[in-house]
A and B are shown apart, each in its own frame.
Chain A
Amino acid sequence: QKEVEQDPGPLSVPEGAIVSLNCTYSNSAFQYFMWYRQYSRKGPELLMYTYSSGNKEDGRFTAQVDKSSKYISLFIRDSQPSDSATYLCAMRGRDGGSQGNLIFGKGTKLSVKP
Chain B
Amino acid sequence: NAGVMQNPRHLVRRRGQEARLRCSPMKGHSHVYWYRQLPEEGLKFMVYLQKENIIDESGMPKERFSAEFPKEGPSILRIQQVVRGDSAAYFCASSQDRGGYGYTFGSGTRLTVV
Contacts and interface: CB of A to CB of B under 8 A. Distances in A.
Interface stretch (A14-22, A64-72, A77-85, A91-99): A91-99
B102 A36 contact: yes
Contact of B48 (A4, A6, A36, A101): A101
Contact of A98 (B41, B56, B102): B56
Nearest to B47: A101
B25 interface: no
A34 B48 CA distance: 19
A43 interface: yes
A86 B30 CA distance: 28
A43 B42 contact: no
A88 B41 CA distance: 11
Given A43-B107, A97-B56, A103 B101 contact: no
Interface string A92-112: 000111101111111100000
Contacts of A90: 43, 102
Interface size class of B (residues with CB under 8 A): 20 to 34
| Most-contacted residue by chain B among A34, A44, A103, A107 (CB, 10 A) | A44
Given A43-B4, A43-B107, A101-B48, A34 B42 contact: no
A32 interface: yes
Interface in B88-114: 91, 98-99, 101-108, 110
A57 interface: no
A10 to B, nearest CB: 12
A6 B45 CA distance: 17
Interface of A: 4, 6, 8, 32, 34, 36, 41-46, 49, 51, 88, 90, 95-98, 100-107
11 contacts: A32-B101, A43-B107, A46-B101, A49-B102, A88-B43, A96-B98, A101-B33, A101-B58, A102-B103, A103-B45, A106-B40
7 tightest Cβ-Cβ pairs between the two chains A and B: A43-B105, A49-B101, A106-B42, A95-B99, A104-B42, A104-B43, A46-B102
Interface of B: 4, 6, 33, 35, 40-45, 48, 56, 58-59, 91, 98-99, 101-108, 110
